[in-house]
A and B are shown apart, each in its own frame.
Chain A
Amino acid sequence: MLGVTFGIAMFILMISFMQGVNQFLEDTMLSATPDIHIYNDVSTDFSVSVAGDYFKDSLKSVIVHHPKPKQVQLNIKNAEGIIADLKKDPLVAAVSPLLSTQVFYNYGPVQLNGFIDGVNISEESRLFNLEEKMVDGKTENLLTSDNGIIMGQGLADKLNVRTGDLVTLTTPTGSTMRFRVVGIFQIGIGTIDNVKSYVNLASVQQLLGKDRSYITDINIKLKDNKLSQSEALAFARKYNYKSEDWETANSSVMASNLIRDTLTYVVSITLLIVAGFGIYNIMNMTIASKLKDIAILKAQGFARRDIIQIFLSQSLVIGLLGAVTGLMLGFALSYALSRTPFPANNSFISLKYFPVIFRTGHYVFGILFGLITTFIAGLMPSVKASRVDPVAILRG
């Protein structure tokens, strides 16, 4: 019975913890990745050439070696139309237009490269819950100040700037602008916190020397992010721009989630099978010591089915008790783990406790699997017991 108890307790602990980790990673990921990201993917088209026009002679065959890509506009045309259309979609919760560019951050002699997102900060907040991630200042500060910037925590630390300081941003095309730090955020992913800043959309358009309708990306939050994949396809077809869902954008994380899940199930099933063998042994021993009783029951007219029923119900009772105590132990252990402080040695991981989730489904699965294991483990010895020849036993 203890075998089943520990098997199921470990299953509950592992699955709760692993799923907790998955959930945590997914949440972190979603705090940096929109459900759907629509952008203009640069794909240089070399199939059309002016060479044919230039030579004008259809008999000549012209081969162009190593053509250079033509200048392309990275913006989404008719962005406003698309945004207005998206906002009408009942599945869409929020839409945030975005203009992103690479920049150098200059502060005194320090020069760091990174990028800035020009956003409508209130829309962006709705997508990523930025208010909760602000370490210093508020998101609204961006709206009230002229040329404000909200910086990633890691970036601000490297530059050693605080709110109120002025930084100079230089674009790859050479234009520069000064921004005042009005807030600092931390998402919890180093690769973002170390390079990214938010500014007003208009500031980036101004910095790049583009007009007010120039937008490169549209981020979308859906009411149900499980629909991202199909919706992304639909948007791509509808607007004819590259449209990427969060699962595709983070396929490596999704793959590792799958691996963790598989690992959990494999280990848990192994534990339960070991527990099942424990029950098998116990039942075999019980039956060996009860041979006389089995013989007498058979002599009195108990059929094979009755004998199987007796021993099978015994093993099922063991299984049920083991499973129930296992679930309780598993719950206690996972609860204890969820209250254990996470040994965070760097501030980039925003975890206070070990991530654990509690889901009824896991408990139902645990009890079902416990019962199935004990049923199978009890069935074989029970059938053996039912085959006992009473004559051989009773004659002694």
Chain B
Amino acid sequence: MSEILQAAHLNKYFYEPEAFQVLHDISFSVDKGEFVTMVGKSGSGKSTLLYLISTLDTDYEGTIIINNIRVTGQSQNALSKFRNENIGFVFQFHFLLPEFSAIENVMLPALKLGKYSRDKIENLAMEKLRQMDMHSFAQKPSGKLSGGQQQRVAIARALINDPLIIMADEPTGNLDSSNSKIVFDIFQDLSKNKGNTIIAVTHDTDFARRADRIIELVDGRLAHT
């Protein structure tokens, strides 16, 4: 299998409130279609690592290569465009825009990308919502949906531009066990059957254990790959 993400010798420091090294010389790679979870105690640096490889945080040492493109050192605008095309995000607190309907939330990244017409995007978004079994709620304001429903809409949004990698930060952290199971099943389906690469940060050991691979961080160092 081809490597989709390569991280080499990542070091990351926090300067506030005092200088502190969060990540120590981290190197790892992820294959295409792999479902990887990152685990570790609170403060172990797993979320920090996720934000580095997702290109949101650019203040680090080392290099990150995604899909054979070196993203380290690129400009903010270039990275914005790169994220828009290649990375889908799912967060712990769903982070939908509450003023918009579910389908509008899903359409937003695609409208930004501007690859298709509005009608085409609407069809695509509907398709993604159907995949999440959320199509009957498409026109509802996203603020009126339950937590599990919102998270499924958020996953649909992460998929809209057919990204190379889906990055998830505690995707089940805010959900009950039945909704967690639904989210996990969706991820597993995406990785097994649709060929999506998924990197998820989680506290949930159950969730982590069932993934293809676990990356464990202890005090900012890789413990086990």
**What residues make up the interface of A, taking CB atoms closer than 8 Å to B?**
292-293, 295-306, 390-391, 394-396
Closest 8 CB pairs of A and B: A301-B84, A303-B80, A301-B83, A296-B95, A300-B109, A391-B57, A303-B77, A391-B51
* B205 CB-CB contact with A under 8 Å: no
Q: Nearest chain B CB to A95's CB is how many angstroms away? A: 72
Q: Which of B2-10, B26-34, B85-93, B120-128 participates in binding chain A?
A: B85-93
| Contact partners of A299 in chain B: CB under 8 A | 54, 56, 83, 89
Looking at A293, A297, A391, the one whose CB has the most chain B CB atoms below 10 A away is A391
The reply to whether A300 and B84 contact each other, CB–CB distance below 8 Å, is yes
Interface string of B57-94 (1 = CB under 8 A from A): 10000000000000000001100111111010101110
Total residue contacts A-B, CB cutoff 8 A:
59
* B97 CB-CB contact with A under 8 Å: yes
Looking at B76, B80, B92, B109, the one whose CB has the most chain A CB atoms below 10 A away is B80
Q: A292-B95, A394-B91 are in contact. Are A304 and B76 (CB under 8 A)?
A: yes
Looking at A297, A306, A395, the one whose CB has the most chain B CB atoms below 10 A away is A395
* Contact-residue bracket for chain B: 20 to 34
Q: A301-B85, A304-B76, A390-B56 are in contact. Are A293 and B112 (CB under 8 A)?
A: no
* B113 CB-CB contact with A under 8 Å: yes
Docked complex Cα distance between A367 and B157 (Å)? 40
- Write the chain A residue with the least CB distance to B76: A304
Q: A296-B95, A391-B51, A391-B57 are in contact. Are A301 and B81 (CB under 8 A)?
A: yes
- Write the chain A residue with the least CB distance to B83: A301
The reply to whether A394 and B169 contact each other, CB–CB distance below 8 Å, is yes
The reply to whether B57 and A300 contact each other, CB–CB distance below 8 Å, is no
Docked complex Cα distance between A293 and B98 (Å)? 9
The reply to whether B51 and A395 contact each other, CB–CB distance below 8 Å, is yes
Q: A306-B112, A394-B169, A395-B51 are in contact. Are A300 and B89 (CB under 8 A)?
A: yes
| Contact partners of B82 in chain A: CB under 8 A | 301
* B47 CB-CB contact with A under 8 Å: yes
- Write the chain A residue with the least CB distance to B77: A303
Docked complex Cα distance between A390 and B47 (Å)? 13
The reply to whether B93 and A396 contact each other, CB–CB distance below 8 Å, is yes
Docked complex Cα distance between A304 and B77 (Å)? 7
Docked complex Cα distance between A394 and B196 (Å)? 23
Q: Nearest chain A CB to B147's CB is how many angstroms away? A: 15
| Contact partners of A394 in chain B: CB under 8 A | 51, 56, 91, 95, 169
* B108 CB-CB contact with A under 8 Å: yes
The reply to whether A301 and B109 contact each other, CB–CB distance below 8 Å, is yes
B residues 108-148 near A (Cβ < 8 Å) are 108-109, 112-113
**What residues make up the interface of B, taking CB atoms closer than 8 Å to A?**
47, 51, 54, 56-57, 76-77, 80-85, 87, 89, 91-93, 95-97, 108-109, 112-113, 157, 169
Given A301-B87, A301-B113, A303-B77, list of 10 further CB < 8 A pairs?
Answer: A292-B95, A296-B89, A300-B84, A301-B112, A302-B80, A302-B112, A303-B80, A303-B81, A391-B57, A396-B92
Q: Nearest chain A CB to B80's CB is how many angstroms away? A: 4
| Contact partners of B89 in chain A: CB under 8 A | 296, 299-300
Docked complex Cα distance between A349 and B87 (Å)? 78
The reply to whether A391 and B56 contact each other, CB–CB distance below 8 Å, is yes
Q: A292-B95, A300-B109, A302-B112 are in contact. Are A395 and B80 (CB under 8 A)?
A: no
Docked complex Cα distance between A304 and B56 (Å)? 13
- Write the chain B residue with the least CB distance to A299: B89
Query: What are 7 A-B pairs at a CB distance below 8 A?
Result: A299-B89, A301-B113, A302-B112, A391-B51, A391-B57, A394-B91, A395-B47
| Contact partners of A297 in chain B: CB under 8 A | 108
Q: Nearest chain A CB to B180's CB is how many angstroms away? A: 19
Q: Nearest chain A CB to B50's CB is how many angstroms away? A: 10
- Write the chain B residue with the least CB distance to A293: B97
Docked complex Cα distance between A391 and B51 (Å)? 7
- Write the chain A residue with the least CB distance to B80: A303
- Write the chain A residue with the least CB distance to B58: A391
Q: A292-B95, A391-B56, A395-B51 are in contact. Are A298 and B169 (CB under 8 A)?
A: no
- Write the chain A residue with the least CB distance to B82: A301
| Contact partners of B83 in chain A: CB under 8 A | 299-301
Docked complex Cα distance between A306 and B91 (Å)? 22
Q: Nearest chain B CB to A127's CB is how many angstroms away? A: 68
Docked complex Cα distance between A61 and B93 (Å)? 110
Docked complex Cα distance between A305 and B76 (Å)? 11
| Contact partners of B56 in chain A: CB under 8 A | 298-299, 390-391, 394
- Write the chain B residue with the least CB distance to A303: B80
- Write the chain A residue with the least CB distance to B87: A301
- Write the chain B residue with the least CB distance to A296: B95
Q: A292-B95, A293-B97 are in contact. Are A301 and B51 (CB under 8 A)?
A: no
Looking at B93, B95, B112, B157, the one whose CB has the most chain A CB atoms below 10 A away is B95
| Contact partners of B51 in chain A: CB under 8 A | 391, 394-395
Docked complex Cα distance between A295 and B51 (Å)? 13
| Contact partners of A293 in chain B: CB under 8 A | 95, 97
Q: Which of A295, A300, A390, A395 contacts B112 (CB 8 A)?
A: A300
Docked complex Cα distance between A304 and B78 (Å)? 11
